[in-house]
Amino acid sequence: MAKELMISSYEVATEHSNTGALILGAGLALTSMILLPAFAVRLGMSASLTGALRIALMKASSRAVALK
């Protein structure tokens, strides 16, 4: 019984510590998919530069979620 409680409390702690990374990753993904193209059009950036920035943000999003 005590061992089960320790395991379940560890699982809860693991979930909470990963929540910040998921929020950060989701924010970066949102930025790269919606906000960056809107700003790029507004500023008149080229498509290749916009694409490179989107790729960089998606990689950062992936790394943020993968880190613990």
Give me the residue spans of the domains in the chain.
2-66
Verdict on whether the full-model pTM lies above 0.85: no
What are 40-57's pLDDT values in tens digits?
A: 999 999 999 999 999 998
- Tell me which H or E stretch contains 8: helix 2-30
Give dist(CA 22, CA 52) in Å, integer.
Answer: 23
CA angle 56, 35, 41 (to 5 degrees): 95
Look up residue 13 and give its amino acid.
A
Each residue's pLDDT, cut to its tens digit, for the chain (68 residues) gives 555 555 555 555 555 567 888 888 888 888 888 889 999 999 999 999 999 999 998 888 888 788 65
Cβ atoms 57, 28 nearer than 8 A:
yes
